[in-house]
Chain A
Amino acid sequence: DQQVKQNSPSLSVQEGRISILNCDYTNSMFDYFLWYKKYPAEGPTFLISISSIKDKNEDGRFTVFLNKSAKHLSLHIVPSQPGDSAVYFCAARFGYGQNFVFGPGTRLSVLP
C-alpha cells in the first residue's frame, strides 16, 4: 500500500538555501494534507497543512504547494536552518478525523 510516497529518503541542504521536500499520492479522494516534522526520541510535530481547495499555504519560512492534477505536494523551507534537520512526514486523508495516511518520511540535514 503506497498511497502516499516520499521518494527521497534523505536530503542535504546548505544553511540559508531552500529545502524542497516532495510528496506524491495516488488516492484522488484525499482532500487534506499535513506536513509533520520529527526529531529523534520525540513525537511528530505539526508544521503546516493545506486543503485541496487551495494550491498554496504559507507560514513563515514554510510553504506548502499542492498540485492536484499531478497528485503532488511539496514543502519549501526558506531559508533552511540547522534546527530544521529532522525527518519530515507528509500525511493525507479524505473527509474528517485523524485517519491520516503517512508517507515514509524524508530525512533533511541542513549543513552549517
Chain B
Amino acid sequence: EPEVTQTPSHQVTQMGQEVILRCVPISNHLYFYWYRQILGQKVEFLVSFYNNEISEKSEIFDDQFSVERPDGSNFTLKIRSTKLEDSAMYFCASSEGQGLTEAFFGQGTRLTVV
C-alpha cells in the first residue's frame, strides 16, 4: 500500500540552527501539506502546497518557515533559525485532489530544539 514517508524520525538541533525535514509523498498525489503537533497539544495546520507554490498557510507559518519540492519526489519543510517552541512532531501529508479528498499522513518527524 502506498504511503507517505518522512525522514528523519527524530531530529535534535540547537536553537538558532536551520533544519530541513523531508517527506516523500504518495507518487500520484498533487497536494502536499505540513502539520505539527506540539507535545500535549492539538494537531495544527501549517501549509499546503500545489503546483509548486503555497496554496494556503496558517498564522504559524511565518517567515522562518519555507517549503520546497526540489525534485519530483521530495517535499521539504525548512525552519531557518529554530526556536525552543518549534519543538514538536511534524507531519507531512499528501492528497490526490483538493476539496473533499482526504490526506494521507506520514509517521512524523519529532523535532527537538535544545
Contacts and interface: CB of A to CB of B under 8 A. Distances in A.
Interface of A: 32, 34, 36, 41-46, 49, 51, 89, 91, 96-105
Interface of B: 4, 31, 33, 41-45, 48, 55-56, 58, 91, 93, 95, 98-100, 102-108
Contacts of B93: 43, 98
B58 A103 contact: no
A3 to B, nearest CB: 10
Contact of B100 (A32, A44, A89): A32
A96 B43 contact: no
Contacts of A97: 48, 55-56, 98
Contacts of A43: 4, 91, 93, 105-108
B48 A99 contact: yes
Nearest to B34: A98
